[in-house]
Amino acid sequence: MKSMKNKIIALIMFAVLSFSLAGCAGNEPDLDISEISIAEASGIVGGISSTDEMAAADFMDMDDDDVEDFFGQYGYKIDGAAFKNGLDGWLSLKEEFGDVLSISDPEMSSNDSEITATFIILGSRRTGKCVVVMDSKNKITSITTSADYSIVENMEKAGLNTLLGMGTTFCILIFLSLIISLFKLLPGSGGMKAKEDKKAAPLDNAVSQIAEREAIASENEIENGELVAVITAAIAAYESANGLTAAGSSDGFVVRSIRRHY
């Protein structure tokens, strides 16, 4: 009994200790925002916003490690791929911003793993934001630029995207329907067989009509033969009764044809 109680107490103490350690791990302090972090973020944003297309092309042709080494010479710690992505994003929105009139001081924030600097960019055409993210060693790991759009502009973009998506879908459906309609032209398909049957139908009807007429003609010939025999016998009996010919002889006449009148 005592050993069981000791085990239960040990389990409870272990659980309490585990929760306390988890609480300590979850309450790590936020990173300190130093002047170096502010200066580094401000310098990078200022450099990107003033970079022209020729200089940007030179940076894009460099390897990521070479970009890091280039900025390392001036005391900046930045991921090469992050800088190139940030530069590309800025260039894609440069025309929408127009001339850069001013860049605000950064609004700094941090958590236990990152430091974030948010800049407000005022352009001659529209405003926007540039967000720089740094790790615990003040190394820039992300640069993103976004433009501010009005509600009307957002609705126009949403409508355009909807029309584009629906138009693409209908075009694909029409293309598929055309392909499916061509399947009946393939040899051995049901469509070709139906087409051949349709072509053969008039020929079959003509053959059946010819066969029917031949059957009627042959039947008529049989009926005409029987009729000729009856007429011949009647005439022969008449002439024999009147002494015109010998009994049962039909040498005096020949039945050549019989015409029916309706």
pLDDT digits (tens, 9 = 90+) for 239-252: 666 666 554 455 55
User: Do 46 and 101 belong to one domain?
Assistant: yes
Residues 49 and 66 in one domain: yes
176: containing domain: 154-184
- Looking at the domain assignment, is residue 61 inside a domain? yes
Whose CA is closest to 71, among 44, 106, 34, 33?
44
81-98 tens-digit pLDDT: 999 999 999 999 988 898
pLDDT digits (tens, 9 = 90+) for 50-59: 888 888 888 8
DSSP state of 257: -
How many alpha carbons fall within 13 Å on the CB side of residue 251?
Answer: 5
The number of domains in the chain is 3
The backbone region for 213, taken as left when phi is positive above 0, alpha when psi lies in -120 to 50, beta otherwise, is alpha
Are 60 and 136 in a shared domain? Answer: yes
**What pTM was computed for the model?**
0.53
Supply the mean pLDDT for the chain: 76
Question: Residue 142, exposed/middle/buried by CB under 10 A (0-12, 13-18, 19+)?
Answer: middle
**Please, which pLDDT band fits residue 142 given cuts at 50, 70 and 90?**
very high
The phi and psi torsions of 247 (rounded to 5 degrees) equal: -60, 130
Which single residue is written with the structure tokens 């585990």? 18
Residue 78 is classified by DSSP as B
Q: How far apart are CA 246 and CA 248, in angstroms?
A: 6
Q: Would 43 be classed as within a structural domain?
A: yes
* Residue 132 belongs to domain with CATH number: 3.10.450
For residues 146 and 41, is the Cβ–Cβ distance under 8 A?
Answer: no
Q: Please say if the pLDDT value at position 208 is more than 80.
A: no
179 and 262 housed in the same domain: no
Residue 212 lies in a domain: yes
| Alpha carbon separation from 82 to 153, 168, 240 (Å, rounded) | 29, 34, 132
169 and 103 inside one domain: no
pLDDT bin (cut points 50, 70, 90) of residue 21 is very low
| Confidence (pLDDT) at 49 | 87
The per-residue pLDDT for 144 is 94
Task: Verify that 93 and 178 share a domain, yes or no.
Answer: no
pLDDT of residue 19: 43
**Distance in angstroms (rounded) separating the CA atoms of residues 162 and 33:** 43
* CB 118 within 8 Å of CB 45: no
Residue 23 lies in a domain: no
DSSP string, 114-135: -EEEEEEEEESS-EEEEEEEE-
Residue 90, classified by CB atoms within 10 Å of its CB into exposed (0-12), middle (13-18) or buried (19+), is buried
State the Cα–Cα distance between residues 42 and 35, nearest whole angstrom. 10
Q: Which two tokens stand for residue 178?
A: 């055309």
In a domain, 225, yes or no: yes
How far apart are alpha carbons 18 and 12 in whole angstroms? 10
pLDDT for 114-135, tens place per residue? 999 999 999 999 999 999 999 9
8 A C-beta contact, residue 160 and residue 98: no
